[in-house]
A and B are shown apart, each in its own frame.
Chain A
Amino acid sequence: MATPGNLKVMNRADLTRRLVAKLRDQAVVAGIGNANFDLYAAGHRAQNFYMLGSMGLACPIALGVALAQPERGVIALEGDGSLLMSLGCLATVATVAPRNLTIIVWDNGIYQITGKQPTATSHATDIVAVARGAGIPNSEWVRDEAHFEQLISRGFEQGGPTLLAAKLDDKPGDIQPPRDPALVRNRFMKGLGNKMAGVLDR
């Protein structure tokens, strides 16, 4: 059985590129810091939402998108530090149980962007065990890149909620998305087919 101690340590940028290559119209909500830097670096998509603050809210935001658009697969990309700040949202996700929501936890065991201070997952906390305990039985560790490819090939529209967690190295992202939140919000809404957005682009 996969445990945090016997997993391959992978690279976030590489896994993010593998994820984006599989996506069609799925929405991706990327938490603050390197989760959204690497999503942007993998190639901007109209269905990407990049956070610039509100640490810990990637999963709640993704939950809202999933409820509003139950036919669309929705993915939250969240770091271990951010998720540790908002573990309660796992219980909410388990209770609401949207079948179209996937949470991917990038677990590098550090608060990378603030100076690589260790998080609790580098000591005692097992994010997958926490998620299962919160009531998300479809929670598992990613063993290696091939396993990740296999897991994300199942599709994102149903079978959830699902949580996948990957142990990562400490390489930071290379580039950052534009810090223009109103533009990011508008383009994301347009990417989701929300008629309130994009009226000036006709």
Chain B
Amino acid sequence: MPWSETFLAALKDNDIRLVSYVPDNVLTPLIKGVTADNYFLPVNATREDEAIGTVVGAFMGGMRGIVMMQTSGFALIANALASLVVPYQIPAIMVVSERGTIGEFNIGQVLVARTMRPVLDALAVQHHTLTEESTLRFVVDRSIKQAMLTQSPVVFILSPLLTGGNPAGPK
């Protein structure tokens, strides 16, 4: 199964219906899958921290959600993580398509990508880098369950090893 279908199946297994996202090339198959399936409720946010807020509100109201973004978008959410998601103990589920590595052509993406894991580690936010489809469903399914059971956020980083990277990148 394509990685994107496996990923969306794991979301369905865990009642994740709300998908708040800022578009990205690598995320395109996920976003297409979400918008083509009435199970999901897609919300196109203007900024990634806005998407976090919406998923937090929905969770408190009883609807599970996920935020989809790319690495540069992750750089906009440090405050939303540090002053909302982490202290309020919200199991926010996030997926980040990883730019800035393995064939990146934009130096800005390279630099901003270097801030991602240190920020997550500084806040002790669990993150998993997904590199292959064969283990993806297990990791995503169990990690979402862990997030919900421990009131803790989790971030899935989509490596170019999994996705093939940005289609606009060097061939």
Contacts and interface: CB of A to CB of B under 8 A. Distances in A.
Interface residues of B, number: 34
A196 B58 CA distance: 13
B54 A67 contact: yes
A61 B62 contact: no
B60 interface: yes
A178 interface: no
Contacts of A64: 18, 20, 53-61, 63, 65
Nearest to B77: A54
B60 A65 contact: yes
Interface in A19-34: 27, 29
A57 B84 contact: yes
B61 A53 contact: no
Interface residues of A, number: 41
A92 B44 contact: yes
Contacts of A51: 84
B123 to A, nearest CB: 13
Interface in A151-202: 181-182, 184-185, 188-189, 192-196
B43 A67 contact: yes
Contacts of B50: 56-57, 60, 86, 88-89, 92
Contacts of A86: 47, 49-50
Interface string B32-57: 00000000010111110111111111
A54 B90 contact: no
Interface string B53-84: 11111111111010000000000000110111
B87 A181 contact: yes
Contacts of B51: 60
Given A189-B60, A192-B60, A57 B87 contact: no
Interface of A: 27, 29, 49, 51-69, 72, 86, 88-89, 91-92, 95-96, 181-182, 184-185, 188-189, 192-196
Q: 5 tightest CB-CB pairs across the interface, nearest first?
A: A53-B83, A64-B57, A68-B61, A88-B46, A60-B53
